[in-house]
Amino acid sequence: MRTAELPSGLRAGIDALLEGVSRNDLARRAALVSHNYRQGGASRKTILGSQDGLAYLLSRLPATYAAVMSALFHVKQSMPDFAPATLLDVGCGPGTAGWAACEVFPSLASAVFLDDSAIFRTLGKSLAADHPVLGQAPFQDCDLTSADSGLPSTDLVIASYALGELRQPPLGELWNAAQGVLLIVEPGTPAGYANIVRWRAMLLQQGAILAAPCPHHEPCPIDPPDWCHFAQRLPRRRDHMILKTATVRIEDEKFSYIAVARMPVTARPEGRLLLPPRLSPAGIACKTCTQGRIDTVTASKRDKPAFKALDRLRWGDGLDNC
Ligand SMILES: C[S@@+](CC[C@H](N)C(=O)[O-])C[C@H]1O[C@@H](n2cnc3c(N)ncnc32)[C@H](O)[C@@H]1O
């Protein structure tokens, strides 16, 4: 996916919520919200009022949406027959992941959103109001730290930028709830990756099958301080640029993720690009994760078909997507 644009319904909903809101106040709040999240702060200490929630819609939602879109896109490539009907979005915030899931999986017919922030639930409900599927979805008050076995069985469970905020994420409960796929997305930082790689091991112990990004079930071959993460490009809207006092019309959201399945993953790629392809006068080189090890796949410029095939790939693509 080259760039991840918000669906028009979500854009319109955000515009409606921001109508008449002072951009100066928003800019101040957005700067604080972004700063707190960058420092690893939790939503509980960051989203303190409705203005903070609105600032999140402009400054973070487009990026978390882009990351979830990219991860789901790779899940779909690995599992072309997966057609979930039900969705559970935990730590849903304003319902970001639900919007992405409905774009990637038009089979979705119902959704449930869980969050303990009333500010986010109110925003999420309002944004989803006119959506044919999400408009019917409950936004339930739920503290995930006490979500023992009360989570509904669901085809697709997503936790996007949420579990890292919890001291003890209810991983077992989320996996029990997921009848098809569980997707967890975290910031693409060493700390985000450390969480993902720990949860990966725990899920594998419970019999989970890897759908993406890993092309294998071996221990992760990446050695710290290196970390596995990807980037998804997204356009910056005018409001967003003003808030961020940005001059560039795009941004790249870095994220780490893991998607695991209960059913066979029929089209898992042989390898995945861990960085963008590197061009040199001689040819092209791609750093990849393959069957439990890090490799460099190369093609010389003289070998035109091989060169072109690698040159078409982007960071995070499967090697078979050439
Ligand atoms: C960074 S926001 C991510 C929101 C949304 N998933 C997204 O990707 O844009 C983290 C979310 O996790 C929620 N959260 C954090 N701790 C929680 C808890 N103990 N129970 C329920 N939700 C929680 C926050 O309220 C917030 O909505």
* pLDDT (0 to 100) of residue 249: 84
Count how many residues are written for the chain: 322
Q: What is the pTM of this model?
A: 0.96
Cβ contact 257:212 at 8 Å: yes
Q: Number of structural domains, the chain?
A: 2
Q: Is residue 3 part of a domain?
A: no
* pLDDT (0 to 100) of residue 34: 87
Q: Is residue 266 part of a domain?
A: no
CA 263 to chain centre: 21
| Statement to judge: residues 222 and 305 lie in one domain | no
Residue 322: which pLDDT band, with cuts at 50, 70 and 90? very low
What are the pLDDT digits (tens) for 255-307?
A: 999 999 999 999 999 999 999 999 999 999 999 999 889 999 999 999 999 99
- Atom of ligand 1 minimally distant from the CA of 68: 8
| Statement to judge: residues 219 and 115 lie in one domain | yes
Average pLDDT of the chain?
A: 94
| Statement to judge: residues 213 and 67 lie in one domain | yes
Joined together, the tokens standing for residue 72 give 């789901």
Cα 121 to middle of ligand 1, angstroms: 10
| Statement to judge: residues 145 and 221 lie in one domain | yes
Cα 17 to middle of ligand 1, angstroms: 20
Mutate to test the pocket of ligand 1, among 47, 69, 165, 189 (most ligand atoms within 8 A of CB): 165
Backbone φ/ψ region at 288: left (φ over 0), alpha (ψ -120 to 50), beta: beta
What are the pLDDT digits (tens) for 130-150?
A: 999 999 999 999 999 986 658
Q: Is residue 149 part of a domain?
A: yes
Report which DSSP code applies to 222: P
Task: State whether the Cα torsion 72-76-78-81 is positive or negative.
Answer: positive
Cα 75 to middle of ligand 1, angstroms: 22
Q: Is residue 208 part of a domain?
A: yes
Where do we find the tokens 């997204």? Answer: 234
User: Of 22, 69, 14, whose CA–CA distance to 231 is shortest?
Assistant: 69
Q: Is residue 267 part of a domain?
A: no
| Statement to judge: residues 130 and 235 lie in one domain | yes
Residue 184 CB coordination number (10 Å) = 27
Radius of gyration of the chain (CA): 19
| Statement to judge: residues 59 and 151 lie in one domain | yes
Q: Angle 61-78/50-59 helices, nearest 10 degrees? A: 50
Domain extent, residue 23, equals: 8-261
Backbone φ/ψ region at 296: left (φ over 0), alpha (ψ -120 to 50), beta: beta
Mutate to test the pocket of ligand 1, among 161, 163, 195, 232 (most ligand atoms within 8 A of CB): 161
Residue 253: which pLDDT band, with cuts at 50, 70 and 90? very high
Mutate to test the pocket of ligand 1, among 120, 158, 186, 189 (most ligand atoms within 8 A of CB): 120
Query: Alpha helices, DSSP H only, in 234-293?
Result: 238-243
233 vs 92: CA distance, rounded Å? 22
Cβ contact 170:106 at 8 Å: no
What are the pLDDT digits (tens) for 183-217?
A: 999 999 999 999 999 999 999 999 999 999 999 99
The stretch 39-65 carries a mean pLDDT of: 93
| Statement to judge: residues 110 and 193 lie in one domain | yes
316 vs 314: CA distance, rounded Å? 6
Q: Is residue 27 part of a domain?
A: yes
175 vs 203: CA distance, rounded Å? 8
The stretch 98-122 carries a mean pLDDT of: 98
The stretch 11-25 carries a mean pLDDT of: 92
The stretch 228-251 carries a mean pLDDT of: 83
Q: Is residue 1 part of a domain?
A: no
| Statement to judge: residues 170 and 248 lie in one domain | yes
* pLDDT (0 to 100) of residue 3: 85
DSSP codes, 126-190: HHHTT-TTGGG--EEE--GGG-SS-SPPEEEEEEES-GGG-SS--HHHHHHHEEEEEEEEEESSH
Q: Is residue 164 part of a domain?
A: yes
